Amino acid sequence: MGLEQNKEVMHEDDTGVSKKMVRGLAGKHHPTFNRPAYKCYDDLECSRLSVPLDWLKPSVGRRVVLAIVRRNATDHTNYLGPIFVNPGGPGGSGVEWVIDGGKALQAAAGKNHDIISWDPRGVGATTPSGHCWSNPQEAQIWEMGKLGLVNSHPGMLYDIYARVSSLNAQCENKMSELTKYAGTTSVARDMLAISKALGLDKVRFWGQSYGTVLGGTFAAMFPEKVERMVLDGNVNLDEWYNGTSIHFTDSTDSVMLACAFYAPSPAAIQDRLESLYARLRKHPIQVLPDSINSTTGFSIPRPEIITYSDVNYMVIYALYQPRLFWPKEAQILSELDKGNGVPFLEYAIERGHRQAPFSCSCDSESQRSSNCPSTYPLDAIGNADTDRLVHCSEAPRDPNYHSLSSLSSYLSKLKTQSPLSYSAMFENRVSCAGWKSRNVWRFEGPWHVTPAHPILFIGNTFDNITPLTSAVYNAGYFANSSVLVQNSYGHCSMGTPSRCTMEARRRYFQTGELPRNGTVCQPEVVPFGDELDDLNVESELDKAMLDLVDLAKRF
């Protein structure tokens, strides 16, 4: 079940903050979320809150109706209130994050907390919704024409720019009422509105990836409202808002060279990978119909080709959770090196890197299968449409920022920074080609503040998209904060189990105690090492640790 669209007229005070959490599925009315409007998703509580579309003119114009979900605390002996959580994105559904992972997040932070989240502007069940297409079938048809990476063939930059610019014109037209009002600044103000509707004086927050931009922005805007804040997998705040975005690839190539191929050294891995890439650019692997994976019995129903771009995408995606994906992908790369593409295709369809044959007969039981495009509004944890809505409108106000000449210059810099991975990482910026809209409200600082309580920053030693350097950089904005280092590979800490990290984060939420700045936590397992099944689950926190790993795997 989803969340019904709110039909009740809201009344606001002179601050522009609604005083009513209104009806949803059950149609019940309560003034705040403290007395929940209705039960939902078996053991959760759902409601809605109306906020101004334009916080700079709160009494004028349209409203945004936020979909909110909460998992209540199960231990009330020392009740500590709610923790607001955000999965990242931008475009990540907070509702879906709590539905799928609220229990694990609560166990990790302490069962004396509620876990609460919401779908940010344009996302999921919040209205108005942000989509480039009228239905998922249209989106899938467009995606079938996707071009390769920018360095796959000469002249690709021009083709990509034209295609993405056309898509963005469609998106800006389809989402016109949101394009100036879905930025991080407005979303941070929405979080404050939710907290006020709950009767809270301060906020506890746990965000990862883009969620660190949201958390950092909130802390800078409202430092006196920070009660606890954990920011894991940090996006460099300066690069996000200034649009430079070069150092986010500081660790990408080094992570790739650790284990992309079975080889005795990083140099040997690089040679083997570059050799495979060079061959695929000129000679994509052909896979004939009815080809079979002799190990699994998987059969290819139609002719396929495997290109350089296909394989590069697979390798890049694996860097987010190398412990989980590297062993399998090393075997697949080895088979590709021999000219055998069947294991790759089986894996790509299973992981969603390549779409299965299009189906028009999806029913409610199978609508999340690989043959069926997912359904709106809860269509995915990372909605690409809302990602561009937030990311592209957040860009600097320079009208040439998304121009072809600007992107070409940026591509050259990125290639120097990350020669192995630059082509895939370039898509973060080129996805905004031709985008014209900018947010009406954009927080410009001050950033150097003293929060009411110091912030805990967490970063992996080798994070492919949010390097440790970003955690250290961001911490410099917020007085008395601490950086905890997890000595592991991949994006954000929860994908790799570490008792040390779990205990430090739990202690912080429970008592406010920060680990010493620069504390290094070791993981319990490493890529190509012991499996999770080999761990002794000795405590409730151990079980929560493994549940977080499973949550990270699903998102």
Confidence of residue 249 (pLDDT cuts 50, 70, 90): low
pLDDT of residue 13: 34
Using an 8 Å Cβ cutoff, are 17 and 31 in contact? no
pLDDT digits (tens, 9 = 90+) for 55-69: 999 988 899 999 999
Please spell the DSSP secondary structure of 350-412, one letter per residue: HHTSSPPPP-S---TTTTTSTTSPPPSSS--SS-HHHHHHHHHHTS-S-TTTTSHHHHHHHHH
Q: Is residue 525 pLDDT above 70, yes or no?
A: yes
CB atoms within 10 A of CB 18: 24
Q: What span, in angstroms and rounded, lies between the C-alpha atoms of 271 and 285?
A: 19
Most confident of 216-220, 370-374, 530-534: 216-220
Q: What span, in angstroms and rounded, lies between the C-alpha atoms of 314 and 349?
A: 11
Q: What span, in angstroms and rounded, lies between the C-alpha atoms of 286 and 169?
A: 35
pLDDT digits (tens, 9 = 90+) for 61-102: 899 999 999 999 999 999 999 999 999 999 999 999 999 999
The model carries a pTM of 0.88
Query: Where are the chain's structural domains?
Result: 241-247+443-554, 252-351
DSSP state at residue 122: B
Distances (CA, A) of 110 to 74, 96, 200, 541: 9, 20, 19, 9
Mean pLDDT of 450-460: 99
pLDDT digits (tens, 9 = 90+) for 305-335: 999 999 999 988 888 888 888 888 888 999 9
